[in-house]
Structure formats: structure tokens, C-alpha cells
Structure 1
């Protein structure tokens, strides 16, 4: 009940968090890490709630374009893993964030942020990305116009800009590094999921 009250709180709840992450994501997340952790909604809760909003909207409007999807043998372990991802975006995004965090540690190692601090950054940033996808899911469901690809592009643009802003908005190279870290993290997550599925299929076949 305490967590629900905190999330819904007008001044420091989820709407306040969204506003702060729109206005100046880098500075607000740095402040969260170094000064005051009560101003924003907890990052894990934030990404789970925003992912849940996205899942509810795509399910309600029967939108087939998924944030993460796999086409192939539906009986394979790979298909079942990606099916789990589609049904549990909140947890899947946290796992995906771990892979992106590893690449960010490589690209921004000189900044000295530890693994968990960067993961907190990713929870906030990816949570906002899910809200962007949610807005375009709602628009597509209401207007019956194919908009999810636009939402996907804007989601990646926001994540890239927010990460670059976090590490220093004055240098353009930070945004380039942020973009490649995000894309490589997504690819690594997908490859890891596929390899896990292959290993499971091999194990059970023998």
C-alpha cells in the first residue's frame, strides 16, 4: 500500500517522474543517484508499471506489432522464451537492461558509474520508452492507422538522447555511443535468448 501511494502521489509520483524524465532526464537521474532517491518513483517499479501499461494497451486493441517478437516453430523453446517476453515485458526489460548496461559500461567506462547505477539509468530510460510505445499503441488502436513503427523509432531516439544526456549533453559522441550501446544490448539480449532456446531444445531432445 505504501508503494502504491508513492507511485500515485501527485508531487512525487509517477506523473512527476515522467515530467522530470521528459524535461531533463540526465540531470534528474544523476540527482536520483547522488542526492535524493525519494523524488522519483523507484526505477524497478517504474519500468514494470510502464511495461504493464504497454501490454494492456496492445492486448486491448489487439495490436500484433510487438516490442519483441519471434517468428518460427511455435513448439520450440526459442518461441516459448520470446512468448514469455511478450507476456512479461516488465521483467524482460530489466533483463534486457542488464545486457545494455554491459555495453554502456564498455562505451562509458571512464565515467566510473558502477553496474547498478547504470542499470537504474536504464530502468528509467526504458520505462519512458515503453510509455512512448504505449502512446502510439493507443493512437493506432483509436485511429486505426499503422503507427507502431513510428513509436519504435521515437522510443529508440528518446533512449539514445536520455542516455547521452546522462553522460554529458555537451558532447555529440556520447549520443553516438549511447545509440550503439542500446542497439548492441538489444541484439545481445536476442542472441542470448535464441542460444538459450537452442540449448534447451538440444538438451530435451537427448
Structure 2
């Protein structure tokens, strides 16, 4: 295909790719760490007006925010890296069982892979959110997008508290966990109807019930796997 100008009129790609050099890397970093778009803009908007921001992302503009799945994976990775460097507590999901079991292994995997673990937890929270806010027109996947952003900010909050704990040895991570739940309830409630107190209350129950359901699900799956292996012995 013959191309005139700097970009292909068919696919929009540049006619000639620029060579990767120091300036290219600097531009890429700047584009990510940018208050007009990118990761810092996403964090700022989700901290100030989460409900409005996610509604706009779903219905109007999907270019300025970091993609939701990537956002939760990046924020969870930040938490995991800081936990490894600063050696603060095991995590905001902690399960102890003196007896080796499949459930123990599963929870350990979640603690070491928060990005994927949060996505799975988000599915359970989304189901309860959809149930409690059933009169609204948002589908399950749109609610899941909301939760990716909300839980991503939650991991940023935990990262900040965890880093502070690791540097000062003050046990503050539990307060970060409480703030995580408060923020999640506020953000979800604001997304649906920020003018009604009932929205925030339902958001709180959706989040907590989602976590409980997720944890019970892991325990049940672990128990069934252990039972199957025990019967097969």
C-alpha cells in the first residue's frame, strides 16, 4: 500500500518507526508519569473522584486512564516489590494453618501473586455488587472494571502504609487495610449514587461479602482436593 504523509490512513501506524534511543525512553517514561494521562493521572483522579472517573471511562473516554487490568496488576506488583524489599507483614490476606493443606498452598499463592489474586477476588465482589445494585443498568463486566480501579488504588494505599511500617517498624498496615475497605465502599457507592447513604452501605456489604465468599471458596476447593486425594490413597 502506498503511504503519503507520516501515518498510514488505513491502520494509523507511523510510516517510519523512530529508532529507540535515550530520548524515546524518556518520552515513554514521561507519558506514563503524567498528570494529564497515565499512571499518576489515573491515581490522582481515582483518589479525588473515583465514581465520576470510572463512569467517564466506561461511557465516554478510555484513553486517559491506564487500562484497568493493567492498573491492578501494576499496583499489586508495587505492593509485592515493596513487601519484598522492606519485609513488612505477610500481606493483607493472611492465612495460617499448622497442618499442610491445599487451601494453605492456595492462599500462599495469592499472597505471592496479588495481581492475579485481586482479579479473582474482584469477580466475587462484582457478583455481590451486581446483586445489591441490581436496579442499575451496569453489567457484570463494567462493574468488574470499576473494581479493578478500586482495588488498584487499595493496593497503592497498602503499599504506602506497608512502606511506612517497613521503614519505621510501627504496626500501621492494619490501618491501611481499614482505609482500603473505607475507600472501596466510598468509591463503589459514589459510582452508583453518591447522594444516597444507602449506596455506601451496600457497597461496604458487597465488598466484605465478596471477600468472605472468596475466602470460603478457596477453603472449600482446598478441602475437596484434599478429600479426593485422601479417598484415592
- Counterpart CA distance in 2 for 1:64 and 1:200 is 29
Contact 1:65 1:148 in 2 (8 A): no
User: What SS does structure 2 have at the residue aligned with 1:27?
Assistant: helix
Unaligned ranges ≥5, structure 1: none
Q: 2:225 matched to 1:200?
A: yes
User: What SS does structure 2 have at the residue aligned with 1:109?
Assistant: coil
Shift of the alpha carbon at 1:9? Answer: 4.8
Aligned length: 204
Structure 2 residue aligned with 1:142 = 167
The more displaced of 7-16 and 17-26 is: 7-16
- Counterpart CA distance in 2 for 1:74 and 1:147 is 29
Shift of the alpha carbon at 1:142? Answer: 1.1
Contact 2:80 2:114 in 1 (8 A): yes
Instruction: List 4+ stretches of structure 1 deviating above 4 A.
Output: none
Alignment of 1:50-199 (within 5 A): 50-73=75-98, 75-199=100-224
Contact 1:132 1:151 in 2 (8 A): yes
**TM-score scaled by structure 2?**
0.84
Instruction: Please tell me whether Structure 1 or Structure 2 has the larger radius of gyration of its CA atoms.
Output: 2
Unaligned ranges ≥5, structure 2: 1-19, 21-27
Q: CA offsets per residue over residues 111-144 of structure 1, 9 Å max, x none?
A: 0110100000000000000000000001101111
- Counterpart CA distance in 1 for 2:154 and 2:104 is 24
Give the alignment's Cα RMSD to 1 decimal: 1.6
Contact 1:73 1:79 in 2 (8 A): no
Shift of the alpha carbon at 1:168? Answer: 1.2
Structure 2 residue aligned with 1:38 = 63
Q: CA offsets per residue over residues 147-177 of structure 1, 9 Å max, x none?
A: 0111011111001100011011100000000
Larger RCO (CA under 8 A, 6+ residues apart): 1
